[in-house]
Structure 1
Amino acid sequence: MSKNIYNEFQIKELEKNPNISSVSDRSISYSPEFKMKAVTEYKSGKTPSQIFIEHGFDLEMIGKEQPKRCLKRWRDTFRKFGEEGFLTERRGKGSTGRPSSKELSVEDKLRKAEARIKFLEAENGFLKKARGARKAGGEEKTILTTDEKYTLIEKTIRTHQLKKSVSYLCERAGVSRSGYYDWLNAAPIRAQRDEQDEMDVKLIREVFINKKEKIGALQIKMIMENDYSVVMNHKKIRRLMAKYNLKTKVRKANPYRKMAKATQEHLTCPNLLDREFNQGEPGKVLLTDITYLYYGKGQKAYLSCVKDGATKEIIAYHLSTSLKMDIVYSTLKKLKEAVGYHFHPEAILHSDQGFHYTHPLFQKKVKKLGLTQSMSRKGNCWDNAPMESFFGHFKDLAEYKSFDNIKDVKKEVDRVIEEYNNYRYQWGLNKMTPVQYRSH
């Protein structure tokens, strides 16, 4: 048996050589005539490799050591049993020199019966795989694609040498015979595509791992284009990620958090945005909210952020270990510094109806800055969806849970927001980062 594993294209190429009687994915059976020729030519002084090359074998395909191994075995067989040993041997080992099968009608019948059993076993195993697994309750679910069915047919025929059963197996699998042969003829194209996929997935895997397996196909596409100058269709990236099992780690929804449906607007601060977050002007729509960050041994920090609705940039943020009003006052102060004390003349600050934002002193400070305050409907997180989305991405990217002190958490928050603003390309921003889009 060869140490190589042959693919379907190589098997087809090998079968074209008249010195081969049959090929499987792990072994090659040579014709008795070729074995006798090889032994004779070896005695005349030719090397094993020279003999194989002259008879049309590609040593790169079958393995450079294969000729040497074969000649050693065939010489032993010839020395023990002569030429008759090649005619009656099984699996490359010399036989006991029994008469030919033509004289043994009983054994001939046994061999035929054995072939029929193999066919039935192959059929049974093939049908089980083609039908797929059953769900609980008896509902049947097909798990094989057409391509997988063709692969299974080809392997069944090759393993059990059932070349005359193509039509039957295709019929049983529910695929066409012509389609199967078209699939066989396309083997070189598939082999070439597999080689190309192996090269393409290297960069995808590198980007995916560098981002701690927390990004999807669109993010990978934008990073490849901007950071590596490599253009690849996002559908191809998805296909390769599925093929090579690159699964994105996604956050799980909190089962205890339910969105309450509300229709009544807040009496003092109506919802002025009505979910029109991007109004085409940077600084016009400012979204704010607070999220919880659990770290260490049950410790809790609070992150307050302000996000630009047009550029998606985090303009200002403040981290605190307390939920007192200072957290939003500090955020307003940092916001004022970030915009250079010059707000958009029609700037709107939008939030939920949390107690911080409904506090009279906070509303007074907002008004003093020249901002118009807007609020989501009570209990409706979709009215501030971009802010909720950012917090979700933030918690995917940030590794703060293992830290034991607030200083390390603060460093991680700074790092992630810096990366989000300056290095995280977004599909909705013409594949630019928030800072790039703002400058654009």
Structure 2
Amino acid sequence: MLMLKVVIKEIAEKGKWRGSYTYGYRRIMPLLEKAGYHMAEATLRRLMNELGVQPAMYNRRKNNHYSSYKGTVGKVADNLLNQTFDATSPFTVLHTDVSQVRLGDSTWAYMSVILDQATKEVLAASVSQSSNKLLIMDTLSQLEDNLPNNFNPIIHSDQGWHYQLDYYREKIDSLGLIQSMSRKGNCLDNAPMESFFHLFKVESQPEIKKCKNISQFTQFFNKYVNWYNNDRISNKTKNMSPVDYRTHVLAA
């Protein structure tokens, strides 16, 4: 039992981000099995609790859910995905959204992100004090730099006002992207983005409050995205990081 606890602790330590444990029992279990340890989920959860390596929880209500929906202010695209999140090839289906967090100085920071559905890799991420056109266009500019040639993926968003307007639609059209939108008020239609922002807030909440201005938060968020892309493993990507999984899939 002592050796088992040592192995659990070692695995959990590899998943720490800024001093916080991020690996839940679902991610630790297959790594234990790979190391030759087999047990019930309840046993693993108990041992993780005894070791103090349980990941933090996040209060969604306390931190407020951001919505950029302002009704129909432009063109609403069809929902091409219909909650079908089964893309297996990189750069075929992308998701995008904006979320917010409250900083240590009580101001808000807004994050705009574009995520690859198949690999969970963040392909573009931008931060601003305002959820405005510049935030969205900067994110698309990053995507333009990171998206390989000869790919024409679907890009799915909610019905936020940014995504309905001409400047957004014209930009994604120039990049060869195919627009798709969630149904009104249905966050599950864009579940991969909801999942990413939830993970970020769970894994970073103690550090977010330490950011006293937008500059500090931008540096912190960029470091998180780099860690998430290159180091954070997931059972959804065969216990690889998003970048490693993308490399693995493209090489197959």
- TM-score computed with the length of structure 2 as normaliser: 0.82
Answer yes or no: is the 8 Å Cα contact 2:159–2:181 preserved in 1: yes
1:381 counterpart residue number: 187
Distance 1:370 1:258 in 2: 29
Answer yes or no: is the 8 Å Cα contact 1:306–1:335 preserved in 2: yes
Distance 1:336 1:343 in 2: 12
Q: In structure 2, do the counterparts of structure 1 residues 258 and 355 end up closer, same or farther at CA, with 3 Å as the change threshold? A: closer
1:323 counterpart residue number: 131
**How far 1:336 sits from its partner (Å)?**
0.6
**How far 1:221 sits from its partner (Å)?**
4.3
Structure with higher Rg: it is 1
**How far 1:334 sits from its partner (Å)?**
0.3
Any stretches of 5+ residues in structure 1 without a counterpart?
A: 1-196, 260-265
RMSD: 2.6
**How far 1:405 sits from its partner (Å)?**
2.4
Q: In structure 2, do the counterparts of structure 1 residues 274 and 343 end up closer, same or farther at CA, with 3 Å as the change threshold? A: farther
Answer yes or no: is the 8 Å Cα contact 1:222–1:425 preserved in 2: no
**How far 1:201 sits from its partner (Å)?**
1.1
Please say if 1:233 is aligned against 2:38. yes
Please say if 1:303 is aligned against 2:107. no
**How far 1:325 sits from its partner (Å)?**
0.5
2:71 counterpart residue number: none
Distance 2:229 2:31 in 1: 14
Distance 1:393 1:401 in 2: 16
Please say if 1:364 is aligned against 2:174. no
Any stretches of 5+ residues in structure 2 without a counterpart?
A: 68-73
Q: In structure 2, do the counterparts of structure 1 residues 205 and 279 end up closer, same or farther at CA, with 3 Å as the change threshold? A: closer
| Identity across matched positions, percent | 35
**How far 1:282 sits from its partner (Å)?**
1.0
Distance 1:271 1:219 in 2: 32
**How far 1:326 sits from its partner (Å)?**
0.8
SS at 2:236 equivalent: helix
Q: In structure 2, do the counterparts of structure 1 residues 272 and 291 end up closer, same or farther at CA, with 3 Å as the change threshold? A: same
Structure with larger RCO (C-alpha < 8 A, sep 6+): 2
Aligned residues: 233
Q: In structure 2, do the counterparts of structure 1 residues 293 and 338 end up closer, same or farther at CA, with 3 Å as the change threshold? A: same
**How far 1:432 sits from its partner (Å)?**
1.4
SS at 1:357 equivalent: helix
Q: Choose between structure 1 and 2: higher helix proportion.
A: 1
SS at 2:179 equivalent: strand
Please say if 1:437 is aligned against 2:250. no
- TM-score computed with the length of structure 1 as normaliser: 0.49
SS at 1:254 equivalent: helix
1:332 counterpart residue number: 140
**How far 1:301 sits from its partner (Å)?**
1.1
